[in-house]
Amino acid sequence: MLSNILIAISITLMYSAPLTLAAMGGVISERSGIVNIGIEGMMSIGALAGATVGYFSNNAWLGLLCAGLAGAIMSLLHAVASITFKSDQTVSGIALNLIGPGLAMFLSRYFFNGATLTIPVPAKLPKIISLKSLQNTAFSNLNIDVTVILAVFVVTATWFLLYKTKWGLRIRAMGEHPAAVDTLGVSVYKSRYFCVIASGFLAGLGGGTVTLAIISQFTPTAISGQGFIALAAVIFGKWRPFGAYLACLLFGFSQALVVMLGGGTVNIPSPLLAMIPYVLTIIMLIVFVGRSSAPKASGVPYQKGER
């Protein structure tokens, strides 16, 4: 029993870490008023950059950093389009979702002789708690990646930034009424650039977490929809850091449930098991969460001086 609980905790935390990082990116960007539907694309590019740099440099940490930077560079495209050019944020986000996975696979083929799988990194990111030494006891099942801690740290930092600093107040206000912030002499453009790039960095980290901590290489299906799940978590959590984190934990827990129920103890076809997280989410939405209201100015390009 204890060992089952510990396995469940380990899997939940493992799967929720990349989602959490990406979702925090989504929260920051959307609170500043920029819809970020391109998380999927940024995660993909991060996943590839992480695995590639991790493999060639033999240093997973350097890989993770580059994953973040790659995501940030991608997000710069989104920032230029949606802030400077004031174009439709949904459209440029979708464009990133097309470019990201495409470019990731293209580069994978380029660096690894035509293969869409990169060569596994020699050393994954370390585990913070790994009690393999206590063999034959239940505790040997508890495995916690360092990225789990990173995720918790980022959630706390995002919360602190948004709710406990002057800057955060401005960012939140920008998502509701940018002109009001502008009249106080704060540059809406600059701050939004910061928020979008930060969101790209975090989404990239999320992608790198997948390929450097969970699996050890980039595969065409490494991200496959996790960016959208992170986006869903942002809305689920009502654009709040801890809300989104809880949503990510829920998705992670559902994954754990699937893994554990799939172990053969219950006789349910595996596709039906895999459906559970999504059905559960919809039920949770109806029963507990309800009306989702986005930041008011989210998705509206800001034009200085316009009434």
Partner 1 sequence: MIEKIAKFLKTPFACTSIAVVCGFMVACGILLVTGYSASQSLAIMVNSVFSRPKFIVNVILKSTPIILTALSVAFAFKAGLFNIGAEGQYIISTVFATIVGILCDFHPAIQIPLVILSGVAAGAIFGGLVGMLKSKFGIHEVLTSIMFNWIALYFCNYIALSERFNKPDSDGSYPINPSGFTLLLNDWKFSDQGREFLRNNYFLNDVILKTDFNLNFLVAVVVAVLSWVMIYKTKKGYELRVAGLNPDAAQNAGINVPRNIFYTMLISGALSGLAGALSITGTSLHGIQSLAMFENYGFNGLSVALIAGSSPVGCIFAGLMFSALIYSGQSLQFKIGAPSEIVNIMIGVIVFFVALVRIVPSLINKFLERKAKLDVK
Cα–Cα nearest to 211, from 51, 85, 66: 51
| Unique residue bearing structure tokens 């059905």 | 279
Site stretch for partner 1 (CB under 8 A), options 132-140, 151-159, 206-214, 290-298: 290-298
Are 43 and 200 spatial neighbours (Cβ–Cβ below 8 Å)?
no
C-alpha pair distances (Å), 83 with each of 72, 105, 266, 285, 303: 15, 28, 52, 32, 9
28 is a site residue for partner 1 (CB under 8 A): no
173 vs 37: CA distance, rounded Å: 21
23 is a site residue for partner 1 (CB under 8 A): no
Give the nearest distance from C-beta 77 to partner 1 in angstroms. Answer: 7
Give the nearest distance from C-beta 30 to partner 1 in angstroms. Answer: 12
Of residues 185, 264, 269, 305, which one binds partner 1 by CB under 8 A?
269
Give the nearest distance from C-beta 235 to partner 1 in angstroms. Answer: 4
Of residues 21, 23, 42, 77, which one binds partner 1 by CB under 8 A?
77
Count Cβ atoms within 10 A of the Cβ of residue 115 and give its class: 0-12 exposed, 13-18 middle, 19 or more buried: middle
Question: For the chain, what is the radius of gyration of the CA atoms?
Answer: 20
Site stretch for partner 1 (CB under 8 A), options 1-9, 146-154, 162-170, 279-287: 279-287
3-state secondary structure of 73: helix
128 is a site residue for partner 1 (CB under 8 A): no
95 is a site residue for partner 1 (CB under 8 A): yes
254 vs 12: CA distance, rounded Å: 8
Give the nearest distance from C-beta 290 to partner 1 in angstroms. Answer: 6
Joined together, the tokens standing for residue 143 give 């495995």
Binders of partner 1 among residues 228 to 247 (CB under 8 A) are 228-229, 231-232, 235-236
Of residues 1, 286, 306, 307, which one binds partner 1 by CB under 8 A?
286
Cα–Cα nearest to 120, from 65, 56, 62: 56
- Residue 267: other Cβ atoms inside 10 A: 6
Residues that bind partner 1 (CB under 8 A): 37, 41, 77, 81-82, 85-88, 90-92, 94-103, 105-106, 109-110, 114, 220-221, 224-225, 228-229, 231-232, 235-236, 269, 271-272, 274-275, 277-279, 281-282, 285-286, 289-294
